[in-house]
Structure 1
Amino acid sequence: MENSRPSSKRFLDIVSDLRTIIKEEGAVIGDKLPSERVLADRLQVGRSTIREALRSLELLGLIETRRGEGTFLADYKKHQLVEILSTFIMQHPQSLKYVDDTRRIHERAAIESISNDVERRALPVWGSFLAKLKGTEPIVREELLQEIVVISGNRLSLKIWFLLKQYSRVPFHEVMKEEEKEIAANLLNEMMNGNSRLAVMRYTDWLDIVNGERRGEHEC
């Protein structure tokens, strides 16, 4: 049975705790890390939370998973962007606004790129998303944004966006509300029609709702 607070720690907290454990263990590049179960017990979070953090770190190249063997520490010095960003945020908490602003730059660029590309904006995946948005099936916010950034085709932007998303204050893991679904559907329609300016405007409307929700939580 998993621990009772699987979502109480944000990604940044998990990363910081994992780094502390690695330091305490005296691990060096190539050393095996503790199992998900052990890490979950030590950090008092659910295994699903640990799994997601490890998956994120693996995508960024900080660790590597070997099937049947476990998870091993990779050479983080080859990934200076991660070190720079994490240090920047840890030393300057107020700079999280810059993280959000930079993430949004990548999201807007991806929307514009797809809107201006006849083949990408005509992909059937957008029709599938529209059907989901009009139905009753729940959609997590980051599902749509991640698909947009992936299909934009810029792999470097994807890696940067993924990292920024993990540090972001926006609750991407939440399910879209009905008013968001309508705006997201309008975003997709404008993007599919090649209207990049209007698509970006709908994206801004959507994020304004999400950011307003976050501000409301902080005021409670």
Structure 2
Amino acid sequence: MNPKNNSRKMFLEIVKQLRQLIHDEQVAVGGKLPSERELAERLQVGRSTVREALRSLELLGLIETRRGEGTFLSDYRKHQLVELLSTFILQESKSKEDVHTTREALEKDAIRTICLTEHLQKLTIWDAFVERLLQEEVLREDIIREILIISDNRLGLKIWFLLKQFAGEPYRSYMDSEEKRAWIQLLTSLQNGDEQLAVSFYNEWLLLMNRGEV
């Protein structure tokens, strides 16, 4: 395998392997995960790569790092804010419309944050996603979730996960060729720091996705 291509895919692959390890070893909520060093040895990757993947899983609310103790599997659904928002959403008559509007606002804000932050624009994960879009099937939610994680808005990420639960299933479908084209242009704009153009391609993608759901 080309070392450059392997590097671009490393981050996504390590997250997948970590999730698979949790599943295979049946780690229960509250259970302790192997150390960073042990994970690096078992997965045959560098510790910095493991550290970045663990940070993403922590932002997702799937794990919790306790200083001096280690890393533990958590359950984001037990977060008090999630419970309060869940109750609110379920009681509102126009909740579904509000869910879509709020979720889209969070996603646009994350795109803007990355466009305005130079070191985030330069992350190799964007090249990895472009490569995936060109070569394989891609779930809609995969890229959106990574953008929320990398924008580093923990509260926004938790709210987004909750909203996604009540918004139906469109994000769990694969992108078609037109959607992929829009996303490749979006990611290129993001890497160039062009906020206006990136948001424009995001809006184009929303129209394509909603058209596909009609």
- The structure with the largest alpha-carbon Rg is 1
Report the 3-state secondary structure (helix = DSSP H, G, I; strand = E; otherwise coil) of the residue aligned with 2:170: coil
Q: Which amino acid aligns with 2:114?
A: I
The one-letter amino acid of 1:109's match is D
Q: Distance in 2 between matches of 1:183 and 1:198?
A: 11
Change (3 A) 1:60 1:209: same
Unaligned runs of 5+ in 2: 1-59, 64-72
Q: What CA distance in whole angstroms lies between the structure 2 residues aligned with 1:74 and 1:134?
A: 33
Matching residue's letter, 2:137: P
Aligned to 2:131: 131
Tell whether 2:106 aligns with 1:106. yes
The 1:60–1:100 alpha-carbon spacing in structure 2 relative to 1, beyond 3 Å, is: farther
Q: In structure 1, list runs of 5 or more residues that go unmatched.
A: 1-57, 62-70
2:152 and 2:184 mapped to 1: Cα distance?
22
- Does the 8 Å CA contact 2:141/2:172 hold for their aligned counterparts? yes
Q: Which amino acid aligns with 2:115?
A: S
Match of 1:202 in 2: 201
SS in 2 for 1:172: helix
1:170 deviation in Å? 5.2
2-side partners of 1:74 and 1:111: how far apart? Answer: 23
SS, match of residue 145 in structure 1? helix
Query: Deviation of residue 81 (structure 1)?
Result: 2.6
Q: Label 1:174 to 1:72 Cα distance change in 2 as closer, same or farther (>3 A).
A: closer
Count of residue pairs brought into register by the alignment: 148
Judging changes above 3 Å, is the alpha-carbon distance between structure 1 residues 75 and 167 closer, same or farther for their aligned structure 2 residues? closer
Normalised to the residue count of structure 2, the TM-score between the two structures is: 0.62
Aligned residue for 1:148? Answer: 147
CA contact (8 A) 2:186 2:198 kept: yes
**Matches of 1:172 and 1:75, distance apart in 2:** 19
Contact 2:61 2:74 in 1 (8 A): no
| 1:192 corresponds to | 191
Map 1:43-192 onto structure 2 (within 5 A): 59=61, 76=78, 79-135=79-135, 137-169=136-168, 171-192=170-191
List structure 1 runs of 4+ shifted beyond 6 angstroms.
71-75
* CA 1:192–1:89: 2 relative to 1, 3 Å: same
Check 1:73–1:196 CA distance in 2 against 1; reply closer, same or farther (3 A cut).
Answer: closer
Q: What is the RMSD of the two structures over their aligned residues, measured on CA atoms?
A: 2.8
- Partner in structure 1 of residue 4 of structure 2: none
The one-letter amino acid of 1:112's match is: R
Question: Judging changes above 3 Å, is the alpha-carbon distance between structure 1 residues 183 and 81 closer, same or farther for their aligned structure 2 residues?
Answer: same
Q: Which residues of 2 match residues 30-49 of structure 1 at below 5 A?
A: none
Query: Could you tell me how far 1:165 is from its partner in structure 2?
Result: 1.3
